[in-house]
Structure 1
Amino acid sequence: MILLFSRIFLEESQLPVLFSKLQFVDVPEGEVIESKDDQFSFEQAFLLQILSEILKERLGDVTVSKDVALFVFEIFKKSIGVLEHAMRGNSGLPSGFTRVDVLGYSLTILRDICAQDGIRGNMVDANDVVDVLLSYGLIELLLSLLGALEPPAIIRKGLKQIENQDSASCYSKPCPYKGFRRDIVALIGNCVYRRKHAQDEIRDRNGILLLLQQCVTDEDNPFLREWGIWSVRNMLEGNDENQKVVAELEIQGSADVPEINALGLRVEVDQRTRRAKLVNIPSSEKSL
C-alpha cells in the first residue's frame, strides 16, 4: 500500500483528483453546504497524514512531482485561514481539528519535499521542485507567518514586564498545534540549504533577525532550538552578505527572565562589546 500510494499520489499527479473528491464525503445526505476553499473534510486530512508519514519514512526514495508539490502548496495557502481563529494547541499532530491537521500535514509534506535534495546530494530534479516552490513565493509566505506568530514561551515570559505587551500580543497568533513554529523554521532551513538566491531572499525580506530569534527552547515547539540553529547555519553558509549582517547586529537591551532571576543572576549588556553576559544580582537587590 505504501508503494502504491507513493507512486500514485506523490510521484504521479493523481493527488488533486482524489483530494477534491474527498472534500464533502462526510456531509450527511441531503444537506446543502457552500463550497469554500478553506473547508476541508476529515478524509482529506487523513489522506495528507498518510502521505506525510510515507514521505517521512521514504525520504530518500520518493521523487515528488512538481505538480504535486505545487498542489500541496496551494492546500497549505488555503488552510492558513484557520490561524485567524485558532487557539494555542495542546498537542502535536494529529490535533483533533480537521483544518488544523490539513494545515500541519501540508506543511510537513512541504518540509520533507524541500529536504530531499539534501538527502540525495543536491540532485538536479530535487532542486528543480524546490526552486519552483520558491518562485511561487514560498519564502515570503513562511516569513510572514513566522513573524505573525506570538513569541516563543521563554520570550513571552521575559516580555511580560514591558509596558503594553498584553495589548500588543492580541495581534499575534498562537501555534495551532505543538510544533507549528518548528515546522515553519525547518521548512525555511531546508529551502535555503545551499541555495544562495533563497539565502539572499531571507536578507532582502529582513528575515535574518527573525530566524535568529528562533534559536531558543520552546515548550510549545519541541526541538525548535535545534531546527533554528540548522536554519541559521544554512542561511549563512557561503553567503558573505548574510554573515556581514549578523556580524553587525548589536544587542540593544535585555529583559529579565524569571527562570534566570531565580538563580540569583540577571542579563546585562556590556556597553563596550555590546554582548550579553550573566552577572550576580547584588544581595541588596535580592531583598527588594
Structure 2
Amino acid sequence: MAATTNHDDISSSISCILNEKRRPEHLETLKMFTNSLRDKNYRDVVDAEIFSTLLKVFSRLKDDLLASTDEDPNSVALQLHVCAECFRALRNSCVQSSRNQSLLRELCFIDLSVELLRFLHANPKSWEGVFESLRCGIQFLGNLSVGNQMCKDEIWRRSFPGLLLQLLNVDDEKTVSYASMVLHTCLDEAKVEELSQLKNIQLARRVMELCGNRPELDWTVLIATQHFLKSSTLVENMYSAMPPCERLTLLELISAQLSGGESLGDGISPGVARFLASSFQKGGGAILSLANSAADEPLQEALTVMSLLDVLCEMTSHQDEFTFLQDQADLLATTVELLKQVHTIGKTSQNVFSPAQNFDGQEGDQESRGSPVTSFKAHLVRLVANLCYRHPKNQNKVRELEGIPLILDNCRIDSNNPFISQWAVLAIRNLFDNNKKNQEVLATLERRGQADYSALQDLGFGVEERDGALLLRPTGKDA
C-alpha cells in the first residue's frame, strides 16, 4: 500500500489498516495524517468519521500490544511506533480546537489512552519505542485538557492518583516533565482538596521530591507554587508526612515565593502561614541539640528550624498579607524564650552558639559559618523586631518576658551572626516606639553585658550609664 498524499484519501487509508496485518506502510499513513493535522484549516474541518476509524485502529492496536511477547521484538517495535504515531495525530488534532477535544472525549479516547499508558508503564522499558509512546500519549492528554474543563475532569478521574504517580516515577526526564504538565493543567481548587487527603498525599510528596531533586522541571515548581501553597490542609498533611530533607524543599519554595515579588495574597494562604508559625513554636527547640551534637538527624532538624525562622522573618517583613502573625498565640513568647536559651548556651561554654569576633575567616568562626546556626540568633532578634512593630501588646510582652535586656545585650557585633547589631537596633526602636513603660525600663536596668549601643544614635537616642544603671536619652535638638 503506497503512502497517501491526498487528504481526501486519508480516511480510506486509515480504514485499510484495520483489515491488514501491521506493516511499515501503515506507519507512513499515520505520519501523513499527523502532518496534515498541523494545518489549522484541515484540523478545523477534519471529518469526525476519521477519528472514529482511528479509534478502532487504536483499540485493535491496544489488543495487539496486550498480546505481545518478547519473542518477536521487531513486531513489538513496529506496534509501539504505530502507537506513538496515533498519539501524535491525536495530540496535533487538539491544538486550539475545542471541537476536536470534545469529539475525542465523546469517542472515549481518554479511557483507551489511559489504559494504554498503564500498559506501557508496566512493560519492559527495554522495548524499543516504549518511552516514545509514553511521551506522545501524555502529550496528547495534556493538549486534550488545555482550556477544556470536561476533558480535565475526565482525565483526572481516570488517572488520579495511581497513573499520575506512576508516570512521575518513570526514569525518563521527558515523560516526567509531560506528566507534570498534565497534572498542572488539570489541577484546580477542588482537585487540590482531593489531593490533600492522606490516602493521596504520596502524589503531592512526589511533586515536592522532584522540586528538590529535579529543579529544572519547571512544571513541578509551578504546581507547588501555584496550587499547593494555597492549601493549608495540603501543606500541613505533606509537612507532617515528610522527612526533614523534603520539608527543607517545601520551605525553600515558600521562601522563594516570598522574595519573588509576586502577589502574595494570591500565592500563600494565611492558613499555611499559621501552620508554619505553629511548627516553629513546636519544633524550634530542636536546634539547641547542635550545641552538643553533630549527628545527621539533629542537623537536618536544625536546618528545618532555621528555614522556618527565615520564612517567618520574611512573612513579617513588609508583608501586609501576614500581619496577623503578630497576633499568633505564643509565637513571640517562643521566639524570646529561644533567644534566651541560645544566648545563655553560647555564654556558658564554647560552642556553635558562642559569639565570635573573627572576621578574617582564619579560625574560630570558620566552621560555624557553614553550620545551620549561622545567623540564627540574628534572625531571632529580627523576628522579635518584626512582631513588635507598631504592636503595643507585643511590646509589653517582651518587657514582661525580660526581653529588653536580652535585646540590648545583642547589640554587639558577632561574626557568627552578621547584622545582629542592626537587627537589635531595629528591635529596640520597635520596642520603645510610643511605649513609655519600655523606655522607663532603662532607668532601673542594671547593666548585664558589654553591649555596644552606639548604633542607637542613628535612632535619635543615646544611652548613658549612671550608677550602674542605663538611661535612654533623646539626642535631638529638642532634648
| TM superposition score category, shorter chain reference | 0.5 to 0.7
C-alpha distance in structure 2 between counterparts of 1:218 and 1:152, whole Å: 15
> Counterparts in 2 of 1:125-136, with a 5 A limit?
126-127=322-323, 129-133=324-328, 136=329
Point out 4+ residue stretches in structure 1 off by more than 4 angstroms. 1-4, 170-173, 252-255, 269-276
> Of 66, 70, 76, which residue of structure 1 is paired with 2:270?
66
Is 1:16 aligned with 2:236?
A: yes
Aligned match of 1:249: 445
Aligned match of 1:174: 353
Is the 1:150–1:173 contact (alpha carbons within 8 Å) kept by the matching residues of 2?
no
The structure-2 alpha-carbon separation of the partners of 1:180 and 1:253, relative to structure 1 and needing over 3 Å to count, comes to closer
Q: What letter corresponds to residue 104 of structure 1 in structure 2?
A: M
Cα deviation, residue 115, structure 1: 1.6
Aligned match of 1:234: 430
- RCO greater where, 1 or 2, for CA within 8 Å and sep 6 or more? 1
C-alpha distance in structure 2 between counterparts of 1:235 and 1:275, whole Å: 16
Moved more, 2-11 or 173-182: 2-11
Q: What letter corresponds to residue 316 of structure 2 in structure 1?
A: C
Aligned match of 1:220: 416
The structure-2 alpha-carbon separation of the partners of 1:196 and 1:274, relative to structure 1 and needing over 3 Å to count, comes to closer
For 1:94-145, what per-residue CA distance to the aligned partner results, in whole angstroms no more than 9, with x for missing partners?
xx9321221111111111111234xxxxx5x533x22442xx2011111111
Moved more, 62-71 or 138-147: 62-71
> Of 386, 407, 410, which residue of structure 2 is paired with 1:211?
407
Is 1:141 aligned with 2:343?
A: no
Q: Rg bigger for which structure?
A: 2
Is 1:53 aligned with 2:256?
A: yes
Is 1:110 aligned with 2:312?
A: yes
Cα deviation, residue 234, structure 1: 0.7
Is the 1:8–1:15 contact (alpha carbons within 8 Å) kept by the matching residues of 2?
no
Is the 1:19–1:44 contact (alpha carbons within 8 Å) kept by the matching residues of 2?
yes
C-alpha distance in structure 1 between counterparts of 2:270 and 2:293, whole Å: 32
Cα deviation, residue 15, structure 1: 1.6
Is the 2:411–2:420 contact (alpha carbons within 8 Å) kept by the matching residues of 1?
yes
Cα deviation, residue 43, structure 1: 1.5
C-alpha distance in structure 2 between counterparts of 1:252 and 1:98, whole Å: 34
Q: What letter corresponds to residue 240 of structure 1 in structure 2?
A: K
C-alpha distance in structure 2 between counterparts of 1:57 and 1:152, whole Å: 36
C-alpha distance in structure 1 between counterparts of 2:332 and 2:287, whole Å: 18
C-alpha distance in structure 2 between counterparts of 1:49 and 1:253, whole Å: 36
For 1:160-219, what per-residue CA distance to the aligned partner results, in whole angstroms no more than 9, with x for missing partners?
xxxxxxxxx159983752010011111110000011111011111111111111111111
For 1:68-89, what per-residue CA distance to the aligned partner results, in whole angstroms no more than 9, with x for missing partners?
1121123223433423421489
> Percent of pairs identical after alignment?
24
Count of aligned positions: 218
C-alpha distance in structure 2 between counterparts of 1:194 and 1:132, whole Å: 12
Cα deviation, residue 52, structure 1: 1.6
Please state which structure has a larger fraction of its residues in helix. Answer: 2
> Counterparts in 2 of 1:196-207, with a 5 A limit?
196-207=392-403
Unaligned runs of 5+ in 1: 24-39, 91-95, 118-122, 157-168, 256-268, 277-288
Is the 2:291–2:351 contact (alpha carbons within 8 Å) kept by the matching residues of 1?
no
Aligned match of 1:160: none
Q: What letter corresponds to residue 130 of structure 1 in structure 2?
A: L
Is 1:82 aligned with 2:308?
A: no
The structure-2 alpha-carbon separation of the partners of 1:274 and 1:47, relative to structure 1 and needing over 3 Å to count, comes to closer
Unaligned runs of 5+ in 2: 1-217, 355-371, 452-463, 472-479
